[in-house]
Structure formats: structure tokens, C-alpha cells
């Protein structure tokens, strides 16, 4: 009679059985608490060791030493397996950084012929996040819509310029790429000599400008100027070609690449694009950065991202990525001669 009862007591006080039950409950903890869950497992492991010591005398009187050794080995194996076993569900739930950006800003970021993201920013970002071992999800939209998506909290960040209006909502990385803003003008403009002699932003005030909707830099730096706002870069250049405006300000990478693409396509206005030239004097150097929402869980990785960008600058990765865009600039300069 006594032996069956003591066996039941042993079963109910069995540390392995209790730990397995407790571990089963722990697996309902969300994945982002994985580190805490492992700490709990280790804590229970210490408790079990103490518990096992407390019942050692009882086990010695009930079962022989061979049984005790066998039970302890089984419990130990189960504990180690549960603590160190990789959790496939957690691995599959690793959150990707959701990057949303402009779909038509070549060669910095745009859709390729297959509809997939390409460009200098894309290559830099994918290389950086690969080194950080963080998954990256990329989506491209018209620029104004892309900014709304990030502002509404549906994405973690975007690559753009840090303006005063954006500072309250975003944390910024160190510069990813420095570019210069240049004047683009129709060579047939009657005031071409005046425009080509401009050396500062204040000198463009008397002229008619065109800018794309969503340009935070233009909105912040060109207040009070005579600006016509258009949806995209194609519309801006078309305004220049038709003579409705005098100046379009754009960075040298994007402007030159866009003109080259349009001339090569040979479609509407392709001949007009051949009349667009650039004032070679840079009006302003601007820094493109990764802006991450303050409330994004990835805000805490910006320091690591900055370290990675610096490494890529030092080892020549970013310079190598830039080389393709430099070819576009040289080709455009030859066309203007």
C-alpha cells in the first residue's frame, strides 16, 4: 500500500514533470520576450537543482541508486533541450525593417524595368542591413504618398533630407550620401545668360521655378519664391521644355540620369530634353539620411546603422556604388558641349 502511494508522490513532485509543464506555458510568451523566456528557463533550472537536493533523501529510501541516476539524467537532458533548443516559430517571426521611398527618383531610388526597387539608395540600404543581419522590406510609391505612409506609422522609415518639419517625428542617421543641388534650364530661355550666371539661392528669386510636390527641402528653403508645384520630375522638366517656367532645382545625380533616360527612350518630349542644360555651379550641398520614426522598434539600431555606413565608406563599398551614377553625369556633360 505504501509503495504505490510513494510512487504517486514522486510523480507529482517530479521536477522534470513540473518543469515540462511550466515550460509549455512559457512558450505562449510573445517572441519579442524570448530573452526573458530563456532567463526564466534558467531560473527554473536552478530551482529544480535545489529541489532535487531536497528530495534526494526521500528518493534514496524509495528507489535504488540506479533508478535515481537514470531519472536525474532524463530530467537534465530535457532541461538542456528546452533551454537551448532553437525555436523555429520565433525565427520566422523576426520583424523586417519596413522602408518606404520614392518610386521615380533615379538613379537614387526607383522602379526598374521589372518593377523591383533599384538605385544607389537601394544598394546602400540592402548592403547595410545585410551586414546588420536585419531583414529589409522595401516598397516604392509616388513620393507624396510614400511620406504619408511613413507619417501614418505604416512603415519604419525613409531615406531623405532632415528638415525642421520632420525633426519632431524622426531620428536621423549620419549622412548616407551627399549631393549638390543644381539649376536645370532650357537653353532656349530668353534669360539664359542671367540664369547661367547664378551663384546663390537668393539670385533665383526673380525667376519662375517649378518643384515636385513633397519636396521638403524646397518647401523649407524656397519660401516666398514663385513656385509652380507639379506631381513628379517628368512634369517639372516638361514645364521647362514648354517654357512655362525658368528654373528647376534638382540634385545632379537625379537630374542628369532622368534627362538621359528620357532622351534614350525617344518618346514624347525626347527632343525637348536635349535642350535642357545644367548650371555647373552647385547652389547647395545636401545630405540624404535614413530617417526612422521615433516610435519604431528599430530606432535603437541607428547607432549600429551609422557604424555600418562608416565601415562601408572606409572599405569603398559606397564609392563603388556611386560609380555607375558618375558615368551618367559624365555622359550628360558631353551632350551639353
* pTM for the full predicted model: 0.67
| Burial grade of 288 (CB within 10 A; 0-12, 13-18, 19 or more) | buried
**pLDDT per residue over 166-216, tens digit each?**
999 999 999 999 999 999 999 999 999 999 999 999 999 999 999 998 888
Cα-Cα-Cα-Cα torsion 39, 44, 46, 49, nearest 10 degrees, comes to -160
**pLDDT per residue over 28-40, tens digit each?**
444 444 444 445 5
Residues in Cβ contact with 249 at an 8 Å cutoff, skipping those fewer than 6 apart: 181, 182, 183, 184, 204, 209, 211, 218, 222, 283
183 in a domain, yes or no?
yes
H or E element in which residue 216 lies: helix 216-221
140, β-bridge pairs: 101
- 64 plus 106 within the same structural domain: no
**pLDDT per residue over 140-169, tens digit each?**
999 999 999 999 999 999 999 999 999 999
Q: Cell 535614413 appears where? A: 290
Distance CA 311, CA 316 (A): 8
284, β-bridge pairs: 181
- 108 plus 254 within the same structural domain: no
- 182 plus 121 within the same structural domain: no
Return the higher-pLDDT residue of 80 and 246. 246
CATH code where residue 221 lies: 3.40.190.10
Q: And the C-alpha cell for 209?
A: 521655378
Distance CA 298, CA 300 (A): 5
Which of 115, 110, 102 is closest to 258 using CA atoms? 110
**pLDDT per residue over 215-230, tens digit each?**
888 999 999 999 999 9
Distances (CA, A) of 102 to 136, 168, 215, 242: 16, 22, 11, 26
| pLDDT more than 70, % of the chain | 68
335 in a domain, yes or no?
no
**Taking a C-beta distance cutoff of 8 angstroms, is the pair 130, 122 a contact?**
no
196 in a domain, yes or no?
yes
| Burial grade of 203 (CB within 10 A; 0-12, 13-18, 19 or more) | middle
Q: How confident is the model at residue 46 (pLDDT cuts 50, 70, 90)?
A: low
Residues in Cβ contact with 325 at an 8 Å cutoff, skipping those fewer than 6 apart: 107, 120, 253, 257
Number of domains in the chain: 3
331 in a domain, yes or no?
no
Per the structure, the complete domain to which residue 108 belongs is given by 97-176+290-325
60 in a domain, yes or no?
yes
- 8 plus 142 within the same structural domain: no
334 in a domain, yes or no?
no
Amino acid at each position: 500500500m505504501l509503495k504505490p502511494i510513494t510512487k504517486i508522490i514522486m510523480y507529482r513532485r517530479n521536477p522534470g514533470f513540473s518543469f515540462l509543464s511550466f515550460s509549455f506555458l512559457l512558450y505562449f510568451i510573445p517572441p519579442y520576450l524570448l530573452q526573458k523566456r530563456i532567463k526564466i528557463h534558467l531560473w527554473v533550472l536552478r530551482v529544480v537543482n535545489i529541489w532535487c537536493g531536497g528530495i534526494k533523501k526521500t528518493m534514496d529510501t524509495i528507489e535504488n541508486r540506479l533508478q535515481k541516476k537514470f531519472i536525474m539524467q532524463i530530467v537534465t537532458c530535457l532541461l538542456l533541450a528546452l533551454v537551448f533548443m532553437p525555436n523555429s516559430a520565433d525565427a520566422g517571426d523576426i520583424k523586417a525593417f519596413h522602408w518606404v521611398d520614392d518610386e521615380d527618383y533615379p538613379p537614387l531610388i526607383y522602379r526598374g524595368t521589372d518593377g523591383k526597387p533599384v538605385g544607389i539608395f537601394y544598394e546602400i540600404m540592402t548592403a547595410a542591413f545585410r551586414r546588420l543581419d536585419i531583414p529589409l522590406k522595401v516598397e516604392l510609391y509616388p513620393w507624396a504618398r510614400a511620406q504619408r505612409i511613413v507619417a501614418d506609422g505604416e512603415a519604419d522609415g525613409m531615406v531623405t533630407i532632415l528638415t525642421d518639419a520632420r525633426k519632431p517625428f524622426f531620428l536621423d542617421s549620419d549622412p548616407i550620401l551627399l549631393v549638390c543641388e543644381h539649376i536645370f534650364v532650357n537653353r532656349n530661355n530668353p534669360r539664359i545668360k542671367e540664369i547661367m550666371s547664378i551663384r546663390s539661392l537668393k539670385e533665383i528669386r526673380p525667376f519662375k521655378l517649378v518643384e515636385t510636390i513633397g519636396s521638403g527641402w524646397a518647401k523649407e528653403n524656397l519660401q516666398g519664391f514663385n513656385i509652380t508645384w507639379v506631381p513628379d520630375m517628368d512634369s517639372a522638366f516638361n514645364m521647362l521644355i514648354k517654357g512655362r517656367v525658368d528654373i528647376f532645382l534638382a540634385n545632379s545625380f537625379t537630374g542628369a540620369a532622368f534627362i538621359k533616360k528620357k532622351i534614350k527612350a525617344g518618346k514624347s518630349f525626347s527632343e525637348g530634353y536635349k535642350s535642357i542644360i545644367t548650371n555647373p555651379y552647385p547652389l547647395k550641398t545636401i545630405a540624404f539620411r535614413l530617417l526612422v520614426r521615433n516610435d519604431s522598434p528599430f530606432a535603437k539600431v541607428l547607432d549600429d546603422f551609422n557604424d555600418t555606413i562608416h565601415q562601408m565608406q572606409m572599405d569603398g563599398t559606397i564609392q563603388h556604388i556611386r560609380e555607375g551614377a558618375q558615368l551618367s553625369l559624365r555622359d550628360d556633360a558631353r551632350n551639353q558641349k
